[in-house]
Structure 1
Amino acid sequence: MAGDPSPDLGEVLRQLAQVVGQYEAECSFTDGHDRWSLYRAALDTPAALPLLFDAVSLEPDGPLASGVVGDVLERVPEDEREQWVQLLPPGVRDFSARRARELGVLASLEQGGMPSDAVGEIIDGWSDWLQLRAVRAASDKEVLHVVSQKGRTEAIRRAATEARQRR
């Protein structure tokens, strides 16, 4: 990013830094690495999420904003995920949109709401990340069997086989 952040972003960042216990003198808001550090601290501070939302909406560095949203999606309720995804510029939105959908799939697997035949039909479209997380999330042995047979990599298939044997 070249130049200073917008005045509105600067004010939001100052407020965010106060909420997470950082001080402006400790970081330069013009530096993306410092903003990333501030955003990471805000992720661990539930009271900071509204300010983090505002900061991400003003963040001029699309990949940086995308990284923050990717992390926040696992920390917010499912019904709030789309709001976070829509903060992102269209050019960097795809990853977070996919991650939000994948988290919905994981929730369904954890609740036993996705039968093994449905998993068998759609697993080829899942990312490696989702396939590995599905091994941990699924309690249904038949779902684990499908993943052990159709997982994309040997590591995924082996993890599913081992998880199935433990359950």
Structure 2
Amino acid sequence: MTDAEPTAPLLELLRQLEAVLGRTAVDDFTDDHVRWDLYQAATRAGEALPILFHAVFQERDGALASPVVVEVLEQLAPQERAAWVQALDPAVRDFPARRVQELKVLGAVDSGDFTTAEIRRAIDTWSDWLQRRVIAASDDREVLRLFSELGRTKRIRNTALSSLK
């Protein structure tokens, strides 16, 4: 993260976020930690999300904007996620775009649209995050058994095994 003077449009959006969140006005937003703190608070306030979207688009520090988008993705309707990723600088879109795909898989597993056979074929390509989330969301004993045997890490295998008990 780099400290830089926010542009006038970003500064206006930061002030709007402060107002929506009921925060005391900050004198200096050049410190990226101050912006991060405000963005974090905004991710937890649904009414702030439209302003946060525009702030992410205006944020020149991609290393700051990208994790904000990743945090927001789960709160969004699936059809809204791509717009948030596209609001980012192309140089920092890869990880958020991957998380969008992981959330699609998680939704498919949750709804039963992803069969155990499909999970078996795909499990090696899934991140630890996705594997842990599938285990946490699943009550399907077959799925949990599969993860207890094929999960990428010992932690994942043990969590699945514990969920079977």
Normalising by structure 1, report the TM-score: 0.93
Q: How much does 1:24 deviate?
A: 2.0
> Which residue in the other structure is 1:45 paired with?
45
Q: Which runs of 5+ in 2 are unaligned?
A: none
Residues 17 and 48, structure 2, Cα contact 8 Å, conserved in 1: yes
Size of the aligned set, in residue pairs, is 164
* Partner amino acid, structure 2, of 1:76: L
Residues 112 and 138, structure 1, Cα contact 8 Å, conserved in 2: no
Q: Give the 3-state SS of the residue equivalent to 1:22 in structure 2.
A: coil
> Which residue in the other structure is 1:18 paired with?
19
Normalising by structure 2, report the TM-score: 0.94
Residues 19 and 47, structure 1, Cα contact 8 Å, conserved in 2: yes
CA RMSD, Structure 1 to Structure 2 (Å): 1.2
Distance 1:159 1:2, change over 3 A: closer
Q: How much does 1:2 deviate?
A: 4.6
Structure 1 runs of 4+ with >4 Å offset? none
> Which residue in the other structure is 2:133 paired with?
133
Q: How much does 1:44 deviate?
A: 1.6
> Which residue in the other structure is 2:4 paired with?
3
Tell me, in whole angstroms, the C-alpha distance in 2 between the residues paired with 1:29 and 1:23.
Answer: 13
Distance 1:3 1:161, change over 3 A: closer
Q: Give the 3-state SS of the residue equivalent to 1:102 in structure 2.
A: helix
Q: How much does 1:118 deviate?
A: 0.2
Deviations 1:12-41 (A, max 9, x none): 11111111111223x521111010111111
* Partner amino acid, structure 2, of 1:110: D
Residues 85 and 96, structure 2, Cα contact 8 Å, conserved in 1: yes
Q: Give the 3-state SS of the residue equivalent to 1:66 in structure 2.
A: helix
Tell me, in whole angstroms, the C-alpha distance in 2 between the residues paired with 1:10 and 1:97.
Answer: 27
> Which residue in the other structure is 2:65 paired with?
65
What are the within-5 Å matches in structure 2 for residues 1-167 of structure 1?
Answer: 1-25=2-26, 28-165=28-165
